[in-house]
Chains A and B, each alone.
Chain A
Amino acid sequence: MTLLLDRPTRPATPPLRRDRRRWAWGLGAAAVLVWSLAGAGLFGADVLNPGGTAQFGRFAAAALDPAIDAAFLGLLARSALVTVAYAAAGTALALALGAVGALLVSRTTWGRRRAGWLAARGLLAVPRGLHEAVWGLLLVTLLGLDPWVGVLAIGLPYGAVTAKVVADLVDEVPRGAYRALRAAGAGRTAAALYGLLPPAAGGLLSHAFYRLECAVRSAVVLGMVGAGGLGYQLALSFASLRWEEVWSAVYALALLCLLAEVAGRAVRRRLAAPPPSARRDPVLTAAVVGTVVLVGWSCWYLALAPAALVSERTVAQLGSVLAAAWPPATDGDLLRTIGALAVDTVQMSVIALAVALPGAVLLAGPAARPAGDSSPGRRVAGTLVRAGLLLLRAVPPPVWALVLLFVLLPGVLPGALALGVYTLGVLGRLAAEATEELDPRPRTALTALGARPAGAWLYGVLPLAAGPVLVHALHRWEVAIRDTVLVGLLGAGGLGALLASELATFDWAAVTTVLAAVVVLTWVVDLVSDRARAALR
Chain B
Amino acid sequence: MSSRRVARSGGPDALLPPLSRRALLAGAGAALAAAVTGCGRSAASSPAALHVGAVPDQDPDVLQRLHGTVADAVSGALDLEVEYTPVTDYAAAVSLFRTGDLDLVWFGGLTGVQARLQTPGAEPVAQRDIDRAFTSVFVVNTGTGLAPSDDLTALAPLRFTYGSETSTSGRLMPAWFLREAGVDPQGFPGGPGFSGSHDATLALVASGSYQAGVLNSQVWRSRTEEGAVDPAVVRYAESPPYADYHWLLGPQAAARTGVPDLRDRLADFFTGLPPGDPVLELFGASAFVPARASDHDRIEEIGRDLGLVS
The answer to whether any beta carbons of A and B sit under 8 Å apart in the complex is yes
List A residues at the B interface (Cβ < 8 Å).
Answer: 49, 51-52, 54-56, 75, 78-79, 81-82, 85-86, 133, 136-137, 140-141, 143-147, 149-150, 222-229, 232-233, 235-242, 245, 300-305, 307-308, 311, 313, 317, 398, 402, 405-411, 489-492, 500-501, 503-507
Picked from B15, B16, B207, the residue with its CB within 8 Å of the CB of A51 is B207
Q: Count A-B contacts at CB 8 Å.
A: 246
Taking the nearest CB of chain B, how far is it from the CB of A406, in angstroms?
4
Distance in Å: Cβ of B224 to nearest Cβ of chain A: 15
A239 proximity list for chain B (CB < 8 A): 8, 10-14, 56-57, 196-197, 199-200
B252 to chain A: closest CB distance in Å? 11
Q: Once bound together, how far apart are the Cα atoms of A228 and B17, in whole Å?
A: 8
Cβ–Cβ contact A51 & B89, under 8 A: no
Q: Do residues A491 and B191 form an inter-chain contact, with CB atoms below 8 A?
A: yes
Chain A, residue nearest B62 (CB)? A240
Contact A52:B166 (CB < 8 A) given known A313-B99, A506-B114: no
Q: Is the CB of B196 within 8 A of A305?
A: no
Q: Contacting A228 at CB < 8 Å: which of B18, B30, B194, B230?
A: B18
Query: How far is B202's CA from A406's CA once the two chains are assembled, in angstroms?
Result: 11
Q: Does B292 sit at the interface, judged by CB under 8 A? A: no
Q: Is the interface of B mostly helix, strand, loop or mixed?
A: loop
Contact size range, B: 35 or more
B residues apposed to A, CB below 8 Å: 8, 10-24, 26-27, 30, 34, 37-44, 56-57, 59-60, 63, 85, 87-89, 91-92, 94-96, 98-102, 114, 118, 141, 143, 159, 161, 165-166, 190-191, 193-197, 199-200, 203-204, 206-210, 230, 232, 307-310
Q: For A52, what are the chain B residues with a Cβ–Cβ distance below 8 Å?
A: 206-209
What residues on B are CB-neighbors of A229 within 8 Å?
Answer: 20, 23
Residue pair B92, A233 in contact (C-beta under 8 Å): no
Interface pair A144/B159, CB less than 8 Å apart: no
- Given the interface pairs A133-B15, A140-B96, A141-B95, the reply to whether A240 lies near B38 with Cβ below 8 Å is no
Q: List 30 A-B contacts (CB under 8 A).
A: A49-B209, A51-B232, A78-B30, A137-B16, A140-B95, A141-B95, A144-B101, A145-B96, A146-B19, A149-B16, A226-B19, A227-B19, A235-B13, A239-B11, A307-B40, A405-B193, A405-B204, A406-B203, A406-B204, A407-B209, A409-B159, A410-B161, A410-B190, A489-B165, A489-B196, A490-B195, A504-B91, A505-B309, A505-B310, A506-B310
B13:A224 contact, CB within 8 angstroms: yes
Closest CB pairs A-B (n = 10): A226-B16, A305-B40, A239-B12, A52-B207, A51-B208, A228-B18, A144-B99, A228-B20, A228-B23, A144-B101
Chain B residues near A237 (CB-CB < 8 A): 60
Residues of the A chain whose Cβ atoms lie less than 8 Å from the Cβ of B141: 51
CB distance from B310 to the nearest CB of A (A): 5
Q: How near does chain A come to B119, taking the closest CB pair, in angstroms?
A: 11
In the bound complex, CA of A130 to CA of B207 (Å):
33
